[in-house]
Amino acid sequence: MDLREVRRLLERKKGQKLQITNYLLTAKDDIVELKRQIIISEKAQAIHQIVARKTQGELEYRLSELVSLCLKSVFRNPYEFVVDFVVRRGKTECDLLFRRDGYLYKPVDASGIGAVDVGAFGARVASWSLSKPRPRSVFILDEPFKHLKGIESNIKIIQVVKKLSESLGLQIIMVSDERVPIAEIKKGADRIFKVSIEDGVSSIEVS
């Protein structure tokens, strides 16, 4: 190898060294930027967790309060409604439970379907009240309390529906069979459409 070849080889090596040096400088800048993004991401995640916990706490309180109030207004020995946020498979899920005497129960397993009907109605109203923006203030319900037994309980739920309708500005259109005296229904309804069928012909009486 003569002197000229050595010089060419040396120049190539210098060029390679310069490329590597520039690459290392760029890589260092990238590392600094990645570290900065990681710090920002961690701070954002921390803020997200705080907001999520606050939102969950507000949701838990508002749902539990209204549904428990509905149950308490109808039943003599009511369950308390519990909203429990749990993490499963890396995702936050919401369990809706009944509590009595320190024990938690799945609603369907705990108390019969009547209490579930009342709880479900309260949860619908609470969810609507928490919506932003709120959807139209009209509920159309088809026999929402069909499993609720006893004249007393049915009279009480009529009173609950009327109170929530008035306090929240809700219009509730509800289909129901006549389980309580019509006089009691009139106390909770602004207008009643009584439908009867005779010889296959439907007739409507408005009161």
What pLDDT shows up at residue 111?
Answer: 60
Characterize the bridge pairing of strands 80-88 and 193-198.
unpaired
What tens-digit pLDDT sequence spans the chain (207 residues)? 677 777 777 778 888 888 888 888 888 888 888 888 888 888 887 787 677 677 677 777 778 899 999 999 999 888 899 988 887 887 878 888 999 888 888 887 766 688 999 999 999 999 898 888 888 899 999 999 988 888 899 999 999 999 999 999 999 999 888 777 888 888 888 898 888 888 888 888 888
Helix residue ranges per DSSP H, the chain: 3-74, 107-110, 113-130, 151-168, 182-188
Token readout for 89 is: 């498979």
pLDDT the model gives residue 159: 93
Q: For residues 189 and 163, is the Cβ–Cβ distance under 8 A?
A: no
3-state secondary structure of 89: coil
Question: Are residues 144 and 138 in contact, defined by beta-carbon separation less than 8 angstroms?
Answer: no
Domain 136-207 superfamily per CATH: P-loop containing nucleotide triphosphate hydrolases (3.40.50.300)
Residue spans per domain, the chain? 136-207
**What pLDDT, on a 0 to 100 scale, did the predictor assign at position 51?**
72
State residue 88's pLDDT score.
Answer: 83
d(CA 85, CA 57): 9
